Structure 1
Amino acid sequence: MTAAVSTIRVLIADDEALVRAGIAAILGADPDIEVAAEAGNGADALTIARTTRLDALVLDIRMPGMSGLDVLRTLRSERCETPCLFLTTFGEDAYVAEALDVDADGFVLKSGDPRELIFGVRAVVGGGAFFSPAIARRILPRHLGASTSRTLDAKQAFASLSPREQDILRLVGRGLSNAEIAADLFLAQGTVKTHVSSILRRTAARNRVEAALIAVHAHEA
């Protein structure tokens, strides 16, 4: 059973006012999520993130001037570990790949199911990784090589893991946090953390998002 969730304070940053309003309405429909602040540009988002207690950032991956990528890159250089969920559109694959380099925690397609936004915020706040299925099918971690061999490479990486690590990686691919995986598999949370570290090392995944993508690509038909 999942423990009660305290209020999740979120910053929304998008240069389009109507998009921000839509995101705020979607997130506000969840009783556990509070839209603590909004920003219409990256500079304001950076200032808010530096001065406000937040549990998650929801940033447009591209904004005029300072982009969402610039905001997260700066925050990570300042050792800010607030989970970040990026909003993206089709055709922005290169930006998503760059976001992986700055330790993004998830990606939601703007044109996708609105529920993905809530699922994504909850997943990254819980320590998991999340990305819209449409993005998962398009984006390939650089360490997996060319797109024509991504499934084969992912399957080989997955097969190199122990059965227990494979079980855990499947759940990582579903966006579960360490606590949720521990509950699902009846393991201590510390044990799950140790396994996840081993999975990252053995698959050469740089972060949890890349590990989750390996799980997705390994099970493509």
Structure 2
Amino acid sequence: MTPKKTVLIVDDHPLYRIGLKAIIAQSPTFQVAGEAGDAEEGLQLAKALRPDLALVDISLPGQNGIDLVRSMKRALLGTRILVVSMHSRIDYITEAFQAGALGYMVKESAGEGLLKALEAVANGDFFLDSTVSREVVLGIVKTPDAQAVIVDVAYESLTHREQEILRLLAKGQTAKEVANSLSISPKTVENHRINIMRKLELQRPMDLIRYAVRIGLIDVDQWKD
């Protein structure tokens, strides 16, 4: 009989760890080798257990999960890492993959998709949560630099300043708040907003938010149907 692949869970919520362990216990392929509630303990356990896979949350006490992924990859080349996080923002996803993770899953999807994600990562394949645009992720994986690439022709038609303003408006900031953040006037922000809407062929403010979610600029859970 083929031995089960070992999994280390690093998450600061005990109840969530219990849920992950319950899902993994149903699998004939994987078994939980250990669990940790913070990055320091997680790295120590990883070095001691040398697991086949690690499930790592981003929001951890002390060192964050992205830094933990980097540390694990330096210390344990054979351990394949799946990030499981409440965040679905493109910058988090970008950092996770560039740090060395092979997979990224949003926590609310883990119930149904965790074992599928583990299978993919165990096989050395990239795994992307289905709630995240696949085009966005392919752009991230293929890009070596530290900046996230948005794979969208319309977005690329915007100037750097327009892209900056789009990100802030999509996050819910008012024109005045954007102006304060960028040290420009509210009128300038409004002029840029009009140009952005025209270039993206959007009609309403809500369309702008929908667009930002679709291409991965902001968390999926910041906007609901």
TM-score normalised according to structure 1 size: 0.60
Label 1:113 to 1:63 Cα distance change in 2 as closer, same or farther (>3 A): closer
- Contact 2:12–2:38 at 8 Å: present in 1 too? yes
Alpha-carbon distance between aligned partners in 1 of 2:13 and 2:110, rounded to the nearest angstrom: 19
Give the RMSD, CA atoms, in angstroms: 2.5
Among 102, 118, 122, which residue is 2:119 paired with?
122
1:62 Cα deviation from its structure 2 partner: 2.0
Deviations for 1:117-162, whole angstroms, at most 9, x for unmatched residues? 101111111121212111244544173843432999xxxxxxxxxx
1:113 Cα deviation from its structure 2 partner: 5.1
Quote the residue 2:100 is aligned against.
Answer: 103
Quote the residue 1:132 is aligned against.
Answer: 129
What secondary structure, in the 3-state scheme, does the structure 1 residue paired with 2:19 have? helix
Label 1:56 to 1:109 Cα distance change in 2 as closer, same or farther (>3 A): same
Equivalences for 1:77-92 in 2 at 5 Å? 77-78=74-75, 80-92=77-89
Question: Are positions 1:21 and 2:18 aligned together?
Answer: yes
Among 148, 153, 161, which residue is 1:149 paired with?
153
5+ residue gaps, structure 1, are: 153-221
What secondary structure, in the 3-state scheme, does the structure 2 residue paired with 1:134 have? coil
Equivalences for 1:50-65 in 2 at 5 Å? 50-65=47-62
Label 1:150 to 1:116 Cα distance change in 2 as closer, same or farther (>3 A): farther
Quote the residue 1:32 is aligned against.
Answer: 29
Alpha-carbon distance between aligned partners in 2 of 1:39 and 1:150, rounded to the nearest angstrom: 43
Alpha-carbon distance between aligned partners in 2 of 1:119 and 1:150, rounded to the nearest angstrom: 33
What secondary structure, in the 3-state scheme, does the structure 2 residue paired with 1:34 have? strand
TM-score normalised according to structure 2 size: 0.59
What secondary structure, in the 3-state scheme, does the structure 2 residue paired with 1:127 have? coil
Deviations for 1:157-193, whole angstroms, at most 9, x for unmatched residues? xxxxxxxxxxxxxxxxxxxxxxxxxxxxxxxxxxxxx
Alignment coverage as a number of residue pairs: 149
- Contact 1:107–1:135 at 8 Å: present in 2 too? no
Alpha-carbon distance between aligned partners in 2 of 1:12 and 1:90, rounded to the nearest angstrom: 17
Alpha-carbon distance between aligned partners in 1 of 2:21 and 2:114, rounded to the nearest angstrom: 10
Deviations for 1:43-88, whole angstroms, at most 9, x for unmatched residues? 1100011111311000112212112211111122335231000002
Amino acid in structure 2 at the alignment position of 1:149: V
Alpha-carbon distance between aligned partners in 2 of 1:109 and 1:23, rounded to the nearest angstrom: 13
Alpha-carbon distance between aligned partners in 2 of 1:109 and 1:16, rounded to the nearest angstrom: 15
Amino acid in structure 2 at the alignment position of 1:126: N
Q: Which has the larger radius of gyration?
A: 2
Alpha-carbon distance between aligned partners in 1 of 2:97 and 2:87, rounded to the nearest angstrom: 16
1:36 Cα deviation from its structure 2 partner: 0.7
Equivalences for 1:202-213 in 2 at 5 Å? none
Question: Are positions 1:47 and 2:44 aligned together?
Answer: yes
